[in-house]
């Protein structure tokens, strides 16, 4: 397989999301963007050594500035650079004219000619501009083109310099002189578009005017204006806090800045040098003839000055440094820069001290609002120089501009591509935020280091795109996008605008600052409703969330940004919430338990672990709760409360509750042993059952539990009745006490039965049994460990109803495959794949990747497709399950099983290393119209097991339903309303059909349908009024058949054709009249048969007895009914068994559901065979035993 772990799918997304202008950005542009996101002070000793409160103030101001810049960036999402705005418009208009060549690869060759009398001919010169640059600079209405001018592809223009010779008159008496003049020749493969048509198109398109309107629309919006003002204010706030930290600002001045920021009345001025206005620079009255000079974007940005001379001195000192002069350009318009720099150089060279001729203009109105209006005016003015409106287009002015830029090594596209951030200082950091926001979701909540790393990744991709576009400098090294911790954490998500971005799955920024009222109670789902909004607590934090009907899921709402990505939530309907990106597969047990709901969060990991062991809940079970939305373990919280508080819980009342919590007796017994509060017969039975099961229990030791005194009634015991050493524990109303004989002081009494037993045993026996303590802890832990692998058995034996479950039919239910717990491949696509399919292994993911790539499909696009298909399924199911007052239903409960089946969460293990995917819609009261209206997509071809059992009004499977499962192998339809066998898409593939307790009556059509199931291995038609027996001749692979209680009078045909080793062939409860003539089936088939019924005819009984005598096989009873008797037995016991009468053997079966087999199976097993051996060897006792009911065997005095 390919190495998909090293792939970087984020690179494709970054490439797709980067704005077009970044494809033409230079390293200098990226450097400026990086710098805008840094605060150099954080790296300086003077900052790190400052007082903590001052550093905290700076950090708070810096965070506030970053957030205000990010908010402005979000509001300016539609803002475009000039080239980004103009290029698609020009391309579209030219396409209407039939021109489809690339704009940047096509040029306008503008040829000019001048007549020269010396050579009596025209001399030619040219200018070449790509079409986008030419269109931006526009054309005057009186421009014309020579015949040699043309539009052509860049490579189709050949210009050849030539020399033209002529003679000129040098004087009246001198001969003429020969001269050589430069000219040019042109060889051009013209495109159909003429220069005149192109010029007219550009004038009509008027992209300059359109861009002016675009800027006005973006910046003049009230929200944008307010946010831009907030950015200006936050820059000043940060500058003031930094200056205060460095003691360059006193408290009075800092308060004055605060007053200005709170819209107080503080005089401010705009500054001009040499009569040239400085944009963005502001002078603030600091009181007492002191001023504060604010230079936004500079370091430092705030300077304290005394009078105008002080301002002059500060600026002169700064501007002597070349880097500061370069930085100062941001405060000057493009038109003013050459003149200002020339005057500055003259004054700095000639004057000492330098005189910058500063002048002031008082700001009337709110200063920040005035400056924002001036910024927009400046932005539009400078844009007009790059994208020239048709109304002001002038050929001479255009030539001057182009010459100026070319003298600086620039062209129109260089400047226009990075136009907005280059005008002033306001938009540089905002542009960086916009750029980050194009690719990254929630970047504003990242740490500074992550923001820079994220921007660096964008730069790497952008520079590579520039290299591909031929813009990188020759020999320049362009970095590659390398894996980083940040990239490894980022996940692709689809945002509210439908675009994909990279999101760091961290919910810290989503925590709600809301304080809920005391006493506010959550609903049954764990949600708090407050002031119309929903809140939940998850992992100890409060989050606001809302329901998204489109995906039928709740989403977390960001507290500050309404348009931020809203992570979807998963829950089980009982308070176990988690974000969809979280992976419970990797959570340890304590986290799995704490995340079950708020009530669990208060307990320690040790308490949670202990409660889990008591309740039989492991990590795999809790993962099913979180991944599949299953209910939390019913008794675990109750057990936790008793562990923590040391109080005894109230017993469950009513049979319904006991049935609902069928593990209650075992859990209660373990609680009473682990947290000894009050002993009951449940805990006593469990403990003595454990002691009875100890193989190392000494043969001559007996332990008794007696009531009241050593001679009191025997309550329970362990060990043989005739053992030589008897130890006792006495139970009274005060608790348990070890009987230590005559002692000066009585043994302690309390509710700790384990302690009493350990103390009652002599030291030698304790050592033999491995009990190293006398406080009960060793015994407690060993009982707990012993219980874990045999919980179901103990529940059945110690607290069962006495009806033993049949092994064959019980096997139909299947089990659940545990979710893998990692470790997992840490790759972005692998993480997303596991989010869709939580049970997927790394090999599953790698196989899917290989399949996609082999088919030439993009793994990223395939992953998006899968995610969208799941969203569509959720939405369609939500619509299907919408409540209908005219037709109440429980469709909502079917959504989770269907989603789990799609996500391959529902899996059943079938033997070693065999797992099938299932869909379980059991007991949901589904009716025919429910399935008929359920339009499932073709995404369930992996499903091999479908269960619809217990839907008592369901009588048919519509084709739209069963055709979705072409690989169906197991179909469970017990306890429904079917009166015929269901049709299937591929009946030959079916291996398991369970239709017991329906309304099927057998006829020829039913037989024809059954004959299609040629690979059937399990058939259950029990409890149907068949009347007529099916013919099984065409199903040789059958190994389990249930035809019990089907009103049959004859055996089914084809039993003799079964070639598999049968497990069970159950025909009990029928009115069978006789065996077929010459009846003979293979011995394994005969041993698996069960024909027992109270309605068998006398003839049938006689024939069965005769068959048994002839073949030594009991057709009435399946041999598996006796398996528990024969555990660890040999040939002697087999022979003894055969000497017993057949009916007596049959009647011994109820013993397995009675004492002592239920509580002390090991002792009972030995005693059972001892008693059979006694009656086998003693004829009088044998006669006495056979005369009494077989289930009274243990009551005989033997």
What residues form DSSP beta bridges with 180? 165
Please report the pLDDT score of residue 377 as a whole number.
96
Contacts of 591 (CB under 8 A, 6+ apart): none
Q: Is the dihedral of CA 621, 622, 626, 627 positive or negative?
A: negative
Structure tokens at 877: 């199911």
CA distances from 949 to 349, 896, 1043 (A): 97, 17, 17
What's the first-to-final CA gap in the chain, in angstroms? Answer: 71
Phi (first) and psi of residue 303, to 5 degrees:
-125, 135
Contacts for 692 with CB less than 8 Å, ≥ 6 apart: 718, 1159, 1160, 1161, 1162, 1163
Question: CA distances (Å), 517 to each of 634, 1003, 1071, in order?
Answer: 29, 68, 70
d(CA 20, CA 1038) in angstroms, rounded, equals 67
Cα(829)–Cα(834) distance, rounded to whole angstroms?
Answer: 9
* Structure tokens that stand for 35 in this block: 């710098």
Q: Bridge partners of 1020?
A: 994, 1042
Nearest to 237 by CA among 293, 299, 302, 285: 302
Calpha distance 1105→1113 (Å, rounded): 9
Mean pLDDT of the chain: 89
Distance of CA 307 to the CA centre of its chain: 61
Tell me the per-residue pLDDT of 490-544, one tens digit each, with 9 for 90 and over: 999 999 889 999 999 999 999 999 999 999 999 999 999 999 999 999 999 999 9
Q: How far is CA 429 from the centre of its chain?
A: 32
Determine how β-strand 970-972 pairs with β-strand 943-947. Answer: parallel
Half-sphere exposure of 964 (CA within 13 A, CB side): 21
Mean pLDDT, consecutive 10-residue stretches, the chain (1198 aa), reads 60 88 86 90 92 95 94 93 93 94 92 82 88 93 91 92 80 76 90 94 96 95 96 96 94 92 90 95 88 94 93 93 90 90 84 85 94 95 94 90 81 81 91 93 90 91 75 50 80 92 94 95 95 95 95 94 93 95 94 95 94 94 93 92 74 49 86 83 91 89 92 91 90 90 67 91 89 90 93 86 42 52 75 92 92 92 95 95 90 95 90 86 96 95 96 96 95 97 94 97 96 96 97 93 96 90 92 93 92 95 92 91 90 92 92 88 90 92 91 88
Residues written for the chain: 1198
Burial class (CB in 10 A: 0-12, 13-18, 19+), 293: buried
Judge residue 785's burial from the number of C-beta atoms within 10 Å of its C-beta, 0-12 exposed, 13-18 middle, 19 or more buried.
exposed
User: Between β-strands 1089-1090 and 1064-1066, what pairing exists: parallel, antiparallel or unpaired?
Assistant: parallel
- The structural domains of the chain, with segments of one domain joined by +, span 508-514+523-580, 656-801, 1129-1198
Cα 434–chain centre separation: 26
Long-range contacts of 1026-1029 (CB under 8 A, 24+ apart): 1026/1000, 1026/1001, 1026/1002, 1027/1001, 1027/1002, 1028/1001, 1028/1002, 1028/1003, 1029/1002, 1029/1053
779, burial (CB in 10 Å: exposed 0-12, middle 13-18, buried 19+): buried
- Over residues 981-1017, the pLDDT tens digits come to 999 999 999 999 999 999 999 999 999 999 999 999 9
Helix/strand/coil for 555: strand
The pTM of the full predicted model, rounded to 2 decimals, is: 0.85
Q: How far is CA 174 from the centre of its chain?
A: 95
- pLDDT, residue 3, reads 57
* pLDDT of the residue at 772: 86
Query: What is the reported pLDDT for 660?
Result: 56
- The pLDDT score that the predictor gives to residue 645 is 82
Q: Which of 348, 265, 256 is nearest to 302 (CA)?
A: 256
What percent of the chain has pLDDT above 70?
94
DSSP state of 347: H
């Amino acid at each position: 397989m390919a190495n998909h772990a090293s792939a970087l799918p984020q690179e494709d997304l970054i490439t797709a999301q980067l704005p077009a202008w970044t494809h033409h950005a230079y390293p200098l542009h990226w450097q400026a963007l990086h710098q805008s996101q840094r605060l150099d002070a954080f790296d300086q000793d003077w900052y790190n050594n400052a007082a903590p409160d001052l550093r905290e103030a700076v950090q708070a101001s810096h965070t506030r500035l970053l957030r205000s810049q990010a908010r402005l960036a979000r509001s300016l999402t539609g803002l475009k650079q000039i080239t980004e705005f103009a290029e698609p418009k020009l391309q579209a208009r030219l396409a209407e004219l039939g021109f489809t060549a690339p704009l940047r690869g096509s040029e306008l060759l503008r040829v000019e000619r001048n007549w020269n009398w010396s050579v009596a001919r025209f001399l030619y010169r040219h200018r070449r501009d790509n079409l986008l640059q030419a269109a931006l600079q526009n054309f005057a209405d009186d421009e014309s083109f020579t015949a040699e001018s043309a539009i052509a592809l860049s490579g189709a223009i050949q210009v050849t310099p030539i020399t033209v010779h002529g003679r000129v008159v040098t004087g009246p008496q001198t001969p003429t002189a020969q001269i050589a003049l430069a000219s040019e020749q042109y060889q051009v493969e013209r495109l159909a578009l003429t220069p005149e048509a192109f010029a007219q198109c550009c004038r009509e398109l008027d992209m300059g005017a359109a861009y002016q309107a675009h800027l006005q629309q973006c910046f003049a919006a009230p929200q944008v204006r307010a946010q831009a003002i907030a950015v200006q204010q936050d820059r000043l706030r940060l500058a003031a806090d930094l200056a205060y930290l460095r003691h360059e600002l006193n408290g009075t001045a800092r308060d004055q800045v605060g007053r200005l920021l709170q819209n107080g009345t503080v005089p401010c001025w705009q500054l001009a040098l040499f009569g040239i206005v400085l944009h963005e620079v502001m002078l603030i009255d600091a009181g007492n003839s002191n001023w504060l000079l604010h230079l936004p974007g500079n370091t430092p940005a705030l300077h304290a000055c005394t009078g105008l001379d002080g301002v002059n001195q500060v600026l002169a000192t700064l501007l002597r440094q070349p880097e500061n002069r370069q930085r100062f350009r941001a405060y000057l318009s493009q038109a003013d820069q050459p003149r200002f720099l020339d005057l500055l150089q003259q004054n700095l060279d000639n004057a000492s001290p330098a005189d910058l001729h500063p002048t002031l203009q008082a700001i009337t109105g709110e200063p920040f609002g005035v400056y924002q209006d001036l910024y927009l005016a400046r932005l539009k003015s400078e844009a007009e120089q790059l994208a020239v409106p048709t109304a002001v287009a002038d050929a001479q002015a255009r030539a001057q501009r182009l010459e100026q830029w070319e003298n600086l090594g620039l062209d129109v596209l260089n400047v226009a591509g990075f136009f907005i951030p280059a005008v002033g200082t306001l938009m540089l950091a905002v542009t960086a935020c916009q750029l980050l926001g194009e690719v990254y979701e929630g970047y504003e909540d990242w740490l500074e280091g992550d923001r820079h790393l994220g921007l660096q990744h964008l730069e790497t991709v952008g520079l590579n795109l520039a290299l591909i576009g031929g813009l990188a400098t020759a020999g320049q090294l362009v970095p590659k996008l390398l894996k980083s911790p940040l990239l490894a954490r980022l996940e692709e998500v689809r945002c509210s605008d439908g675009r994909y971005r990279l999101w760091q799955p961290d919910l810290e920024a989503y925590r709600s600052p809301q304080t809920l009222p005391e006493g506010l109670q959550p609903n049954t789902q764990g949600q708090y409703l407050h002031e119309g909004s929903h809140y939940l607590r998850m992992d100890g934090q409060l989050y606001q969330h809302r329901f998204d009907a489109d995906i039928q899921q709740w989403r977390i709402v960001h507290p500050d940004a309404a348009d931020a990505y809203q992570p979807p939530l998963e829950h089980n309907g009982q308070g176990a919430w988690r974000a969809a990106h979280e992976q419970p597969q990797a959570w340890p047990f304590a986290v799995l338990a704490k995340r079950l709901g708020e009530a669990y969060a208060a307990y320690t990991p040790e308490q949670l672990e202990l409660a889990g062991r008591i309740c039989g809940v492991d990590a795999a079970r809790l993962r099913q709760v979180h991944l599949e939305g299953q209910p939390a373990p019913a008794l675990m919280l109750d057990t936790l409360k008793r562990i923590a508080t040391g109080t005894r819980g109230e017993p469950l009342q009513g049979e319904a509750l006991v049935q609902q919590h069928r593990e209650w007796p075992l859990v209660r017994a373990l609680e009473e042993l682990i947290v000894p509060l009050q002993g009951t017969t449940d805990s006593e039975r469990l403990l003595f059952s454990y002691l009875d099961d100890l193989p190392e229990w000494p043969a001559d030791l007996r332990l008794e539990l007696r009531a009241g005194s050593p001679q009191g009634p025997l309550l329970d015991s362990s060990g043989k009745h005739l053992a030589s050493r008897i130890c006792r524990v006495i139970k009274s109303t005060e608790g348990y006490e070890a009987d230590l004989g005559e002692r000066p002081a009585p043994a302690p009494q309390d509710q700790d039965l384990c302690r009493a037993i350990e103390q009652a045993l002599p030291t030698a026996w304790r050592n033999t049994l491995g009990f190293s303590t006398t406080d009960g802890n060793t015994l407690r832990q060993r009982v707990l460990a012993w219980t874990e692998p045999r919980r179901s058995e103990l529940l059945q034996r110690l607290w069962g109803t006495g009806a033993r479950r049949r092994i064959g039919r019980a096997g139909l239910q299947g089990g659940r495959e545990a979710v893998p717990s990692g470790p997992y491949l840490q790759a972005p696509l692998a993480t997303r794949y596991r989010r869709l399919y939580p049970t997927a292994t790394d090999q599953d993911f790698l196989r899917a990747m290989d399949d996609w790539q082999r088919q030439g499909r993009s793994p990223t696009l395939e992953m998006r497709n899968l995610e969208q298909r799941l969203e569509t399924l959720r939405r369609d199911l939500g619509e299907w399950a919408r409540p209908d007052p005219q037709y109440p239903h429980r469709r909502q409960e079917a959504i989770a099983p269907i989603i789990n089946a799609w996500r391959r969460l529902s899996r059943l293990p079938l033997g070693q290393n065999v797992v099938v995917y299932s869909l379980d819609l059991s007991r949901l009261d589904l009716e025919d119209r429910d399935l008929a209206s359920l339009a499932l997509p073709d995404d369930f071809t992996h499903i091999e097991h479908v269960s619809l059992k217990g839907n008592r009004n369901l009588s048919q499977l519509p084709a739209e339903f069963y055709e979705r499962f072409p690989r169906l192998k197991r179909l469970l339809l017990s306890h429904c309303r079917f009166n015929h066998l269901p049709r299937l898409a591929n009946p030959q593939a079916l291996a398991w059909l369970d239709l017991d307790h329906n309304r099927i009556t057998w006829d020829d059509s039913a037989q024809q349908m059954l004959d299609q199931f040629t690979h059937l291995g399990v058939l259950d038609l029990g409890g149907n009024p068949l009347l007529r027996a099916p013919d099984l001749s065409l199903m040789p692979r059958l190994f389990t058949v249930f035809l019990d209680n089907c009103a049959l009078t004859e055996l089914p045909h084809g039993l003799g054709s079964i070639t598999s080793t049968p497990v069970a062939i159950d025909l009990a409860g029928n009115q069978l009249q006789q065996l077929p003539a010459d009846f003979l089936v293979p011995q394994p088939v005969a041993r698996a048969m069960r024909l027992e019924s109270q309605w068998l005819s006398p003839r049938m009984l006689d024939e069965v007895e005769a068959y048994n005598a002839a073949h030594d096989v009991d057709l009435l009873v399946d041999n598996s009914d006796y398996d528990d008797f024969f555990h660890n037995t040999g040939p002697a016991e087999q022979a003894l068994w055969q000497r017993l009468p057949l009916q007596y053997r049959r009647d011994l079966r109820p013993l397995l559901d009675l004492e002592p087999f239920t509580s002390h199976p090991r002792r009972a097993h030995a005693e059972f065979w001892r008693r059979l051996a006694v009656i086998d060897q003693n004829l009088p006792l044998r006669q006495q035993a056979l005369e009494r009911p077989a289930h009274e065997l243990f009551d005989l005095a033997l």
